[in-house]
Amino acid sequence: MRDLQFFDSQQDRTIVWRNLPHWMQTGTVCFITWRTADSLPAEVQERITLERQRLLRDRGFNPDGDWKGALATLPEVERGRVQWGLFKIWDGALDLGRGACVLAAPELNKIVGDSLLRFDGDRYFLTDYVVMPNHVHLLAAFFSEETMLAQCTSWKRYTAREINRRLKQTGAFWQVEAFDHLVRSPEQFEHYRRYIKENGQRARLEEGQYRWYSKALGKVEGNS
């Protein structure tokens, strides 16, 4: 079984801020989520913003100030808890199944699943994914820091074109922004694997309405 690499604070990494933070470290397993463009309508976005502001205040941050900079100064474990809390607010709204949810169609979620596996072992090392009706979760390690964002863009561009062609429609299919989190330990890796595996069940979806994949790895060992 291939050894997995987890986040090492002593090694070089890159942080890119957009609406969400993107932490990149060569070879490190990363948990990534992206969603369809129609998955969070304006009223849901507003509720997410309010819940996020409440969580930040509860954790001692000023949501109207430089909370991102303050978050970056926290110890890794504490920072991870805050980031996971922010993510759960966002992801919980996705699981409510807003938008057209066209990826519930097996022939469409297969397009996404096949795309994720196409260059596995060549451009990246993918261990798990789930394609939900309006979003995608995956775990993968990338062979360079530049590859991660470029590959996510490539996945979304290709699948959007193919899905729009099948649906005989045009326009944006995926939201530009994505969430990603560098995995910090074998225990956290197994947590994310379970989260991906159970996502469809938590949303009470029927077989075929989501697509799940998990690579057999045996006992997971890592560098931290």
- Give the span between the Cα atoms of 78 and 81, in whole angstroms: 5
**Are residues 86 and 108 located together in one domain of the fold?**
no
**Are residues 24 and 115 located together in one domain of the fold?**
yes
**Are residues 109 and 210 located together in one domain of the fold?**
yes
The answer on pLDDT for 77 being more than 50 is: yes
**Are residues 132 and 59 located together in one domain of the fold?**
no
Amino acid identity for residue 55 in this structure: L
- Give the span between the Cα atoms of 85 and 124, in whole angstroms: 28
**Are residues 174 and 217 located together in one domain of the fold?**
yes
Q: What is the largest CA-CA distance in the chain?
A: 49
pLDDT per position as a tens digit, 176-204:
877 878 888 889 899 999 999 999 998 89
**Are residues 144 and 56 located together in one domain of the fold?**
no
- Give the span between the Cα atoms of 221 and 185, in whole angstroms: 9
Domain that holds residue 130: 1-37+104-224
Model confidence band, residue 212 (pLDDT cutoffs 50, 70, 90): very high
Least-confidence region, from 87-91, 144-148, 191-195:
144-148
> Pick from 50, 72, 96: which residue ends a domain?
96
pLDDT per position as a tens digit, 17-41:
444 444 555 678 889 999 999 988 7
> Pick from 49, 73, 96: which residue ends a domain?
96
CA nearest 156: which of 139, 178, 140, 141? 178
- Strand pairing partners for 181? 31
Residue 204 tokens, joined: 């009470």
pLDDT per position as a tens digit, 99-130:
999 999 999 999 999 999 999 999 999 999 99
- Give the span between the Cα atoms of 84 and 87, in whole angstroms: 5
Mean per-residue pLDDT of the chain: 83
- Give the span between the Cα atoms of 95 and 115, in whole angstroms: 22
**Are residues 212 and 125 located together in one domain of the fold?**
yes
The answer on pLDDT for 65 being more than 90 is: no
Amino acid identity for residue 156 in this structure: K
CB atoms within 10 A of CB 69: 9
Overall domain count for the chain: 2
**Are residues 181 and 83 located together in one domain of the fold?**
no
